[in-house]
Amino acid sequence: MSTRPAPQWRVVRFDFWIDKAFDERLGREPAIALDVAQAQDGDERAWRLLSQAHVYQISPAKDELPAQFRATAGLLERCPQLLCVSSTGAGFDTVDVEACTRAGVAVVNQAGANAASVAEMAVGLMLAVSRRIVECDRLLRSERGYSREALMGRDLGGKTLGLVGIGHAGSRTAALARAFGMQVLAFDPYVAPEDVRARGAEPVPLPELLAQSDIVSLHCPRNAETLGMFDAARFAAMKPGALFVSTARGGIHDEQALAEALRGGHLSGAGLDVWEPEPPPLDHPLLDLPNVVATFHTAGVTHEARRNVASQAADQVAALLSGARPPRLVNPEVWPQVEERLRQN
């Protein structure tokens, strides 16, 4: 009778929801053992598992993951065997990438795995706000005596969409917008003008995008450059009557400044999937405005997207532990060091 060899590698994740594809994929790897820590059961067992881990599959939701389990320099010191921190998403807000690089730890994300879902939500928010779908739904359930014209909205066709960021989700959004007959502009300082055009948009500087766009949609990462990027001055620079949409990350736009721009009438509506913090408090001023459509960071949360993310994450982890360079490596400069550490195990 053959016996299963002892696993060489240990992967740890917390018990936050993840599609079963992740566990099933790693379960087919005899050299990999997967441990699941309980987020609510205290720290002792979690730290014991993490201290033995070679890969930490981490939640990117900063308001979900307890602060002590974010991938900071302090955590890395307590986890000397760690080779990789793998984010369960495109973002990695819970990971200190510089600290990981200093420690010789690879950081991977799942960029692109939920891009189609995020793009659909971005366009869905545009439709919901511009056609006043949510306002109509609320009124129809509670009042009578108003006319259809009192809820008159605007078509997307013929409007100008400005994308701030044209990566995976931004490119998908551009394609959907063109199907509606929209003109698409994009600002992305990390994408060459010819590549922006190849992704379906006309490259323009940010001031020009703000001045010309009927709808501005954010698709950029949250980092030191983008944090607080959309403040009162940026909202004031937008075209009067424009709509603001974000499926990016909370903190990129100033929520109080946006509420003031909407209350003052400079902007005519907003569709918001991301908040600071998440979820926002029930008395948040934006939630009190009828021309705001609000969702709970669910743009990338579909059955299809979550399965794609889980499958991609497991494939990257398995590939890395077999010695292959993962395709979505956030800190590529660390790879030679990780390769050497893999050989030493």
Q: 276 and 284 in contact (C-beta within 8 Å)?
A: no
Torsion sign, CA atoms 40, 43, 44, 45: positive
- Catalytic residues, by residue number, are 249, 278, 297
Q: Phi/psi class of residue 261: alpha, beta or left (left: φ > 0; alpha: ψ in -120 to 50)?
A: alpha
* Distance from C-alpha of 47 to C-alpha of 50, rounded to nearest angstrom: 5
CATH architecture of 115-294: 3-Layer(aba) Sandwich (3.40)
For the chain, give every domain's residue range: 9-111+303-344, 115-294
The pLDDT value given to residue 254:
98
The pLDDT value given to residue 43:
85
Q: Give the tokens for residue 223.
A: 């980092």
* Distance from C-alpha of 173 to C-alpha of 29, rounded to nearest angstrom: 36
Same fold, 9-111+303-344 and 115-294: yes
The pLDDT value given to residue 1:
44
Which residues of the chain, if any, have pLDDT below 70? 1-6, 41-42
How far is CA 34 from its chain centroid?
25
* Distance from C-alpha of 81 to C-alpha of 77, rounded to nearest angstrom: 10
The four Cα atoms 212, 246, 301, 22 give a dihedral, to 10 degrees, of 90
Q: Global pTM?
A: 0.92
Fold of 9-111+303-344: Rossmann fold (3.40.50)
**Per-residue pLDDT reduced to its tens digit, 234-288:** 999 999 999 999 999 999 999 999 999 999 999 999 999 999 999 999 999 999 9
